[in-house]
Every structure is written in structure tokens, then in C-alpha cells.
């Protein structure tokens, strides 16, 4: 039945031909650098409008006649063009910046046309300028941390880039960089994300009503787009903070035809550490650093064809070198991502737009140690590696001004090599867990139908997926539906249903987003995860304010749980699927949001009431128990007060406050000395198994951490010279009143639970120079 519905969605076009019609199509771009603007609107009259797609393309079919077209985008001047429509016409818009602030805020109050079937609680589109002015820790702007002030999005741990959406786990979020999945988003053990804000153009996030064009995760989609490069003139940014330095440069390769952008970010932490260790003449040296490198180029071949090439590489490295008593010891622990994508935009006709791309994504973790005494060399290496190679095609068919069909598909090949261990000496070379390597093949296809009648906006979709691994083939069909009603008074009501499937799993027994968390694939024995989510909500928009309320309920099936106390990247020749339980979950709650969008003081207050639970037959006697990310209450306040603004100077104060119920942790219930079992062995210190203390976790997530809260303040001042150069200073104070929030708990040898807190009040300063 579901297969027949999918076929119908793919082939059913409906439109009314009452008179002769023609199509106006083209791109909407920024006049200053020719960046294409996603979500801009082109309006020919009441009920006659369309939004640009993700690549800045629009298509509008109208009866013959004279029209006055208005093109709008938040932060840009409205451009108006007169046209006498007698035949199909290509019409591009180039919007200029420099609009007055009051006009920006009024237009920012409009519903986002790119996702108009969703509410402001299900679809988020924070502007990068807003993100750049929010208070931060140690001067580092971070997209993921700013999103955590939104309702339904919670940090995994204090000051962590990892986040959880509506009761899901952090691996259930699909995170895309220029359409490519990024599988590890953490730097510095989760304190910062891998996304360099200076290289980002746009950020979109779906929490509910996820369109059929997205798939592969259960909870949310975060779609991040890189800047494309300035086609008009060279432009650069230099930024520095106590943690890192960043340099971005973009310029035309051929004016108005081709451009490029490169951006580099690197930590500064290891430099003073190296100088200090050299000054005291230590036998060895210890250090840590991370870096990010983004690059992108694009070329307009002709009005119908444009190609893009994007690349990202990021890595963390912790190292230790020592030369003592004739023995040279080295240790390196590193992890990182590589993504690359080639994209081709092609206009088949004025109504049919295509985006065809081929991408590669890789995440690799290396744990390498060696000892060389001249006579004998010992090497230990533990690695985890995953690779994703895909070819995909998406099509947008603009049937009429009120009806659009999106369809496409993807074929991908994934390779997994988790927990591969090698121990090598002069006479030995032992390799463990080679049999855990796994390959899988995916085929995915989708169709979306979007109908906008003015008062009603309907999005109906179906996504199909075939997953082949080993001797097993899994087939899934995922229906999607979203409905929104809007009245002329600014009131709207929405409802959505989303079904999702996830074919990969993240092995983790912490909430830190540590690099030791390992990605593994579904197998013949371990099924893919599934979820269903229903959400309903209402929203009221006034001249200065927006109020929203939304409820949701999420069902989860075949979710996995890695055993507490189990380890990976060890020398044990054990399979990962021997340390997991498979069960189900549920999450439900309500979200409230109030925004002030006009005036000197702007901001948002949000409150979330939520529950998240899990059930496994082998755990907790089969009873439901709270998920580690079950946080009953979440209050957030994020705002900005504009002190002064004109054409050349700007000053503002920003603030952020959050209060959340604490995380859940699993503390060992019992410690005991185990019996000497057949097959028991001695560890590296010669202590038999039976003499070692063992821990049991009979009651999972049995410790509720106390309420977590902190207040952050920021002050930003920006000066622009007549030659276009700008100087921005940002001052921030994290945790103003020095709340010592618990970061972790552990049991000391006497059995007492101890708290660890690592983030007191932290002032910082950052500087940005734009030229």
C-alpha cells in the first residue's frame, strides 16, 4: 500500500489551465558578492508569490499581462521590477544591503516562506549576524551553542556543542554541511563545534514536520550552508580569541563568473604550552590542538548551469613525546572529519530545476602509541573509521504559483571499521576485530507535494529507503505530512506527522560527545532504528511580538543502548553487538515561545516541559526508566539591546540565561569482587580477574543531577570605515554569578558520590577585522 502511495506521489501533477500562462524564473542574489539567497520571496500580487529554493532559484507561472514584481529578503532592500508578461521570461534579481534597521525588523517578522507549512517552533532559521552578536565562552562563536537556547533543544552537558532534540540522542540529529553528512561535530572533547562561523552563510533546522527530502536520522535536521565566494571583489576576515585564530579570504576568479573562498581556524593552546616546556627543558613535551579548513569554489558556466566544489577538513590531536633512559616513547590521539562535494545546478526548463551532486564524507579516530629502546620497538594502534560515498539528485518542479513538486533520490556506499586494534613487536603482529568491518549500500528516493492556497499550506511526502548489508535487505517507507492554517489576523495553527528511519548507531555510554564514541552500521542481527512523531501547535503574530505553543509525541523503535562500564578501543577481541541492548523509547512534551522582534530590545523567552523514557527487556527488569537526556523543565532567555546604530558605528548588549533540570547519570549500584571464572586471565599488572573490583548497574540513570543554570553577558562594538573595513570587538562574561554547575559525578574509594565542576565565571574578549 505504501509503495502505491509513493508511486502516486511521484507521478500525480495537478494544475488548472484556465487561460494562456507564461513563466518568469531566475535567481535572487546579493548585489555585493553575488551570493545566491535561499528563502527570498518574489511577489506579483496577493496570493501570487513564491520563495527561492536552497540555491536561490525561483519560478512563477502567471497569466499573460502586466505585473509589478517585488523581491524581498530579510536584511536587504526590496527590489521592484515592472514586466509585461507575453512569453516565458528569465528575470534575475540582485538585492542591495544597507536597509534601515526598522524595516529589517518588520520584515523579519514575516513567516519564513521556505518552510511556511511549519511553525517557528518546528523550523528555525537564525541569521548569522544574530549569532555573531550573542554572548560566548572564550570568544568562540558557535552555531550549535546558540541553537541550544531554542525550545526543545538541550545541551548534552554544560558548555558542550553536542545537543539533543525533543528527547532524542545526539546521534539522532542529521547534521549537513553543504548537503554532506558530518559524523563528528566536536572539538576539544565536545567544548566547541567544528563549524567556523566566518565561513557559514546560512543555518536551517527542522525539529518537526521534517520534509521528505531529508532522511537518515530520527530527531532533527540541521542544514548548514557555506559561503560561496565573492564574485565582485576580494574580501577577507581575520578573527582572534583566547582559543583560536581564524582567517577567511574570498575573491573572484573571474568577475561575475567564478569565485572562491578559503577559511582556516586553528587553536593557539599548544603554542604557549610548547614554549613553556622548552624553557624548563623537559625530557618530553605534551600538547593539544585542533584546526578547521574550509574551501569552496563555484563557476557560472551559462545562465542554465552552475557548478560548485566544496571541501572541509578538521582534526583534533592530543600528543605526548618522551625520550628518557634511552627509550623514545610517543603517543598520539587524534580524530577528525573530511567532507567534499561536487554540485551541479541545472535548469531544464523555467519550471524544472535540478541539483545533482556527488559527495564523500569520512570520520576517523586514531589512538597510536609506540616505544623504541633501540633494541626493541613496540607499537599499539587502535582505530575506528567510517566512510560515506554518495550520488544524489534533487528536482524542483514549479507546476503553478501555488503548487510545487520536489522529488529525487540517492545511492550511497558506506564502510565501517570500528575498534580495529593492532599490537606489533619484533616477533609479533596481532590484529583484532578485523571481522567487525562492515559495508552497506543505501538507495533512497522521495517525493514532496507542496500546495499553498493562501490560508492553507499543505506538504505531503513519502520517502522510501532500501538498506543492504551482509545477507539482509531492509526496506522502509516513511510518510510525511504537514498542514498549516493562516488567517489575516496573524493567527496560525499547524499539525505534522513524520516517520523516520536511521541505519547507523553511535556507541556511547556518556553524554559528553567524546571522540571515543563509535559509529557502527545496522547488521543482519541489529535492525535500523525507527521513529514516528506527531506535533500540533498554534502561533499568534502581532506587530512587535510572536507567541507560539506546540506539543509533540515521539515513538522510537529498535533503539540501542551500550552497556554501562563497557569499553571500546581496547585490546579485547570482542564484538560491539555483544555489549548492546535493543529496545524502544518515547518522548513527549510541550514548548512555549515568546519573541519580541521590533525595537531596540529584541529577544526570545522559551519554556519546555518534556519527558523522555526508554525500555529494554534486559535492563531494569524490563521496566521503563528515564533516558539520560530526560530533562523535565527548560527555561531559556536570549536577547539583545541596541545601544547605538548608524551607518558607521554599532553598539549592543546581548544576554543569555538558561535553567534546565539536571541530566541523568548511571552510578554503579554495587561493587564486588568477582568469582574466578573459566577463561579468566591476569591483566597487565598481573592481577587476576577475581581480585579486581567489579561494578554493576542494575538501576540505569539512577542519579539525577541538580538544576543547571547560568547567565551570560556580551558587549559588541563595531566600527565601519568609509573604505569598507570594519573593526569589531566582542566582550563576554560566561556564568556571570559563578554558578558551579556539576559537570560530572563519580564515586570515590569510600563509596561517596563526588561532584566535578569545571566552568566558573569566565570573562573573554574577541576581535574581528573585515577588509
pLDDT tens per residue across span 43-55: 888 778 888 998 9
Provide the pLDDT confidence category of residue 702 given band limits of 50, 70 and 90. Answer: confident
What integer pLDDT is reported at residue 513 of this predicted model?
44
Q: pLDDT per residue over 181-206, tens digit each?
A: 999 998 887 788 899 999 999 999 99
Cell readout for 358 is 556527488
What integer pLDDT is reported at residue 485 of this predicted model?
93
Cell readout for 580 is 548492546
Three-state DSSP class for residue 756: strand
pLDDT for 691 beyond 90:
no
φ and ψ at residue 285, rounded to 5 degrees: -140, 150
C-alpha closest to that of 98 among 71, 77, 129 = 77
Cα–Cα distance measured from residue 99 to residue 128, given in angstroms and rounded to the nearest whole number: 17
C-alpha closest to that of 39 among 124, 130, 106, 133 = 124
What integer pLDDT is reported at residue 397 of this predicted model?
95
- DSSP character string of 370-427: EEE-SS-EEEEEEEEEEEEEEEEEEEEEEEETTEEEEEEEEEEEEEEEEEEEEEE-SS
Cell 499553498 found at: 452
What integer pLDDT is reported at residue 515 of this predicted model?
55
pLDDT for 66 beyond 80:
yes
- Tell me how far CA of residue 735 lies from CA of 26, 158, 368, 542, 715, in angstroms: 48, 11, 37, 33, 15
Cβ(748)–Cβ(754) under 8 Å?
A: yes
Provide the pLDDT confidence category of residue 670 given band limits of 50, 70 and 90. Answer: low
Element (H, E) at 5: helix 2-11
C-alpha closest to that of 111 among 429, 673, 372, 493 = 493
Beta-strand (E) ranges in 303-351?
305-324, 327-349
pLDDT for 19 beyond 80:
no
Q: How far is CA 747 from the centre of its chain?
A: 34
Cα–Cα distance measured from residue 406 to residue 415, given in angstroms and rounded to the nearest whole number: 30
* pLDDT mean across residues, the chain: 84
Cα–Cα distance measured from residue 477 to residue 207, given in angstroms and rounded to the nearest whole number: 20
Half-sphere exposure of 109 (CA within 13 A, CB side): 22
pLDDT for 299 beyond 60:
yes
What mean pLDDT comes out for the span 83-99?
85
Cα–Cα distance measured from residue 89 to residue 74, given in angstroms and rounded to the nearest whole number: 25
Cα–Cα distance measured from residue 492 to residue 482, given in angstroms and rounded to the nearest whole number: 13
* Residue ranges of domains in the chain, CATH in brackets: 21-95 (2.60.40.1120), 225-677+689-770 (2.40.170.20)
Cell readout for 222 is 540541521
What integer pLDDT is reported at residue 102 of this predicted model?
41
C-alpha closest to that of 513 among 201, 259, 154, 166 = 154
C-alpha closest to that of 39 among 62, 57, 25 = 57
pLDDT for 173 beyond 60:
yes
Cβ(251)–Cβ(229) under 8 Å?
A: yes
- DSSP character string of 606-674: EEEEEEEEEE-TTSGGG--EE-TT--SEEEEEEEEEEEEE-SSEEEEEEEEEEEEPPPEE---SEEEEP
What mean pLDDT comes out for the span 613-635?
90
What mean pLDDT comes out for the span 265-285?
80
φ and ψ at residue 105, rounded to 5 degrees: -70, -35
Cα–Cα distance measured from residue 114 to residue 47, given in angstroms and rounded to the nearest whole number: 15
C-alpha closest to that of 168 among 635, 612, 551 = 612
What mean pLDDT comes out for the span 672-699?
46
Three-state DSSP class for residue 575: coil
What integer pLDDT is reported at residue 564 of this predicted model?
66
Element (H, E) at 768: strand 762-770
Burial class (CB in 10 A: 0-12, 13-18, 19+), 568: buried
Burial class (CB in 10 A: 0-12, 13-18, 19+), 612: buried
pLDDT for 301 beyond 90:
yes
pTM score: 0.88
What mean pLDDT comes out for the span 623-633?
89
User: Is the Cα dihedral 500, 504, 510, 512 positive or negative?
Assistant: negative
Cα–Cα distance measured from residue 571 to residue 681, given in angstroms and rounded to the nearest whole number: 14
Provide the pLDDT confidence category of residue 695 given band limits of 50, 70 and 90. Answer: low
Cα-based angle 676, 681, 684 (whole degrees, multiple of 5): 130
Provide the pLDDT confidence category of residue 666 given band limits of 50, 70 and 90. Answer: confident
Which residues contact residue 276 at a Cβ distance below 8 angstroms, ignoring those fewer than 6 apart? none
pLDDT for 14 beyond 60:
no
pLDDT for 675 beyond 70:
no
What integer pLDDT is reported at residue 562 of this predicted model?
78
Cell readout for 534 is 506527531
**What dihedral angle (degrees, nearest 10) is formed by the CA atoms of 36, 39, 42, 46?**
180
C-alpha closest to that of 142 among 277, 33, 292, 334 = 292
Cα–Cα distance measured from residue 386 to residue 412, given in angstroms and rounded to the nearest whole number: 13
Provide the pLDDT confidence category of residue 417 given band limits of 50, 70 and 90. Answer: confident
CB neighbourhood size of 558 (10 A): 18
**Percent of all residues in the chain with a pLDDT value above 70, rounded to a whole number:** 88
Which residues contact residue 302 at a Cβ distance below 8 angstroms, ignoring those fewer than 6 apart? none
Q: How far is CA 273 from the centre of its chain?
A: 32
- Tell me how far CA of residue 483 lies from CA of 239, 398, 493, 536, 588, in angstroms: 43, 19, 8, 10, 20
> What's 125's DSSP letter?
-
Q: pLDDT per residue over 506-545, tens digit each?
A: 887 554 445 567 788 888 888 999 999 999 999 999 888 9
Cell readout for 567 is 569499553
φ and ψ at residue 113, rounded to 5 degrees: -70, -25
Cα–Cα distance measured from residue 119 to residue 460, given in angstroms and rounded to the nearest whole number: 16
What mean pLDDT comes out for the span 480-486?
94
Q: pLDDT per residue over 235-254, tens digit each?
A: 999 999 988 999 999 999 99
- Helix, strand, coil fractions of the chain, as percent rounded to 5: 10, 60, 35
What mean pLDDT comes out for the span 428-457?
87
- Tell me how far CA of residue 63 lies from CA of 9, 17, 66, 91, in angstroms: 27, 9, 9, 16
Provide the pLDDT confidence category of residue 116 given band limits of 50, 70 and 90. Answer: low
- DSSP character string of 218-264: SSEEEEEEE----SSS-EEEEEE-SSEEEEEEEEEEETTTEEEEEEE
Cβ(182)–Cβ(174) under 8 Å?
A: no
pLDDT for 177 beyond 90:
yes
pLDDT for 612 beyond 80:
yes
Cα–Cα distance measured from residue 634 to residue 639, given in angstroms and rounded to the nearest whole number: 17
What mean pLDDT comes out for the span 248-265?
95
106-139 core/surface letters (b: 16 or more CB in 10 A; e: else): ebbbebbbbbbbbbbbbbbbbebeebbbbbbbbb
Q: pLDDT per residue over 131-148, tens digit each?
A: 888 887 777 888 888 888
φ and ψ at residue 23, rounded to 5 degrees: -115, 130
Amino acid at each position: 500500500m505504501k509503495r502505491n502511495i509513493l508511486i502516486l506521489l511521484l507521478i500525480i501533477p495537478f494544475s488548472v489551465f484556465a487561460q494562456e500562462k507564461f513563466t518568469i524564473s531566475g535567481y535572487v542574489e546579493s548585489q555585493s558578492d553575488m551570493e545566491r539567497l535561499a528563502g527570498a520571496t518574489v511577489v506579483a500580487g496577493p496570493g501570487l508569490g513564491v520563495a527561492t529554493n536552497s540555491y536561490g532559484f525561483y519560478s512563477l507561472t502567471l497569466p499573460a499581462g502586466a505585473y509589478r514584481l517585488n523581491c524581498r529578503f530579510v536584511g536587504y532592500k526590496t527590489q521592484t521590477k515592472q514586466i509585461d508578461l507575453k512569453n516565458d521570461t528569465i528575470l534575475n534579481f540582485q538585492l542591495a544591503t544597507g536597509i534601515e534597521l526598522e524595516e529589517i525588523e518588520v520584515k523579519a517578522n514575516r513567516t519564513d516562506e521556505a518552510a511556511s507549512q511549519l511553525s517557528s517552533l518546528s523550523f528555525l532559521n537564525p541569521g548569522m549576524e544574530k549569532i555573531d552578536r550573542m554572548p560566548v565562552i572564550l570568544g568562540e562563536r558557535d552555531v550549535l551553542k546558540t541553537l541550544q537556547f531554542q525550545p526543545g533543544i538541550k545541551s548534552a552537558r554544560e558548555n558542550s556543542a553536542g545537543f539533543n532534540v525533543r528527547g532524542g540522542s545526539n546521534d539522532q540529529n542529521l547534521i549537513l554541511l553543504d548537503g554532506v553528512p558530518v559524523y563528528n561535530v566536536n572539538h576539544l572533547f565536545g567544548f566547541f563545534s567544528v563549524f567556523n562561523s566566518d565561513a557559514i552563510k546560512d543555518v536551517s533546522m527542522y525539529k518537526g514536520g521534517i520534509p521528505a527530502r531529508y532522511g537518515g536520522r530520527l530527531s532533527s535536521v540541521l542544514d548548514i550552508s557555506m559561503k560561496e565566494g565573492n564574485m565582485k571583489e576580494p574580501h577577507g576576515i581575520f578573527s582572534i580569541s583566547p582559543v583560536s585564530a581564524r582567517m577567511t579570504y574570498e575573491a573572484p576568479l573571474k568577475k561575475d563568473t567564478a569565485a572562491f573562498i578559503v577559511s582556516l581556524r586553528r587553536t593557539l593552546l599548544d603554542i604557549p604550552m610548547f614554549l613553556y616546556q622548552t624553557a624548563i627543558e623537559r625530557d618530553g613535551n605534551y600538547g593539544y590542538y585542533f584546526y578547521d579548513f574550509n574551501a569552496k569554489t563555484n563557476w557560472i558556466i551559462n545562465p542554465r548551469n552552475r557548478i560548485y566544489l566544496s571541501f572541509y577538513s578538521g582534526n583534533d590531536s592530543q600528543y605526548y613525546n618522551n625520550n628518557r633512559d634511552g627509550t623514545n616513547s610517543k603517543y598520539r590521539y587524534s580524530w577528525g572529519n573530511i567532507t567534499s562535494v561536487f554540485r551541479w545546478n541545472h535548469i531544464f526548463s523555467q519550471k524544472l530545476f535540478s541539483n545533482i551532486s556527488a559527495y564523500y564524507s569520512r570520520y576517523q579516530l586514531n589512538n597510536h602509541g609506540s616505544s623504541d629502546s633501540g633494541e626493541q620497538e613496540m607499537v599499539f594502534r587502535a582505530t575506528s573509521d567510517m566512510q560515506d560515498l554518495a550520488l544524489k539528485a534533487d528536482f524542483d518542479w514549479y507546476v503553478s504559483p501555488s503548487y510545487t513538486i520536489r522529488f529525487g533520490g540517492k545511492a550511497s556506499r558506506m564502510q565501517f571499521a570500528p575498534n580495529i586494534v593492532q599490537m606489533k613487536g619484533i616477533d609479533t603482529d596481532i590484529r583484532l576485530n578485523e571481522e567487525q568491518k562492515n559495508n552497506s549500500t543505501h538507495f533512497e528516493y522521495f517525493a514532496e507535494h507542496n500546495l499553498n492556497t493562501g490560508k492553507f499550506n499543505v506538504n505531503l511526502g513519502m520517502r522510501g529507503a532500501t538498506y543492504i548489508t551482509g545477507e539482509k535487505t531492509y526496506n522502509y517507507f516513511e510518510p510525511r505530512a504537514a498542514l498549516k492554517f493562516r488567517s489575516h489576523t496573524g493567527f496560525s495553527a499547524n499539525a505534522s506527522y513524520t516517520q523516520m528511519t536511521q541505519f547507523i548507531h553511535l556507541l556511547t555510554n556518556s553524554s559528553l560527545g567524546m571522540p571515543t564514541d563509535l559509529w557502527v552500521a545496522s547488521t543482519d542481527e541489529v535492525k535500523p532504528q525507527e521513529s514516528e512523531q506527531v506535533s500540533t501547535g498554534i502561533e499568534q503574530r502581532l506587530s512587535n511580538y510572536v507567541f507560539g505553543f506546540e506539543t509533540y509525541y515521539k515513538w522510537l523503535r529498535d533503539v540501542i543502548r551500550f552497556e554501562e562500564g563497557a569499553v571500546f578501543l581496547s585490546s579485547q577481541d570482542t564484538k560491539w553487538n555483544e555489549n548492546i541492548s535493543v529496545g524502544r523509547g518515547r518522548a513527549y512534551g510541550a514548548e512555549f515561545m515568546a519573541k519580541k522582534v521590533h525595537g531596540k530590545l529584541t529577544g526570545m523567552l522559551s519554556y519546555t516541559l518534556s519527558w523522555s523514557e526508554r525500555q529494554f527487556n534486559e535492563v531494569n527488569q524490563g521496566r521503563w526508566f528515564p533516558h539520560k537526556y530526560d530533562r523535565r523543565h527548560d527555561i531559556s532567555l536570549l536577547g539583545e539591546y541596541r545601544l547605538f546604530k548608524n551607518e558607521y558605528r554599532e553598539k549592543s548588549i546581548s544576554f543569555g540565561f538558561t535553567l534546565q533540570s539536571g541530566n541523568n547519570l548511571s552510578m554503579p549500584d554495587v561493587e564486588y569482587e568477582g568469582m574466578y571464572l573459566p577463561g579468566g586471565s591476569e591483566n597487565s599488572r598481573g592481577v587476576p580477574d577475581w581480585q579486581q573490583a567489579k561494578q554493576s548497574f542494575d538501576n540505569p540513570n539512577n542519579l539525577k543531577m541538580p538544576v543547571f543554570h547560568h547567565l551570560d553577558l556580551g558587549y559588541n562594538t563595531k566600527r565601519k570605515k568609509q573604505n569598507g573595513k570594519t573593526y569589531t570587538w566582542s566582550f563576554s562574561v560566561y556564568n556571570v554569578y559563578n554558578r558551579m554547575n556539576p559537570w560530572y559525578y563519580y564515586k570515590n574509594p569510600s563509596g561517596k558520590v563526588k561532584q566535578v565542576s569545571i566552568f566558573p565565571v569566565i570573562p573573554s574578549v574577541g576581535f574581528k577585522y573585515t577588509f
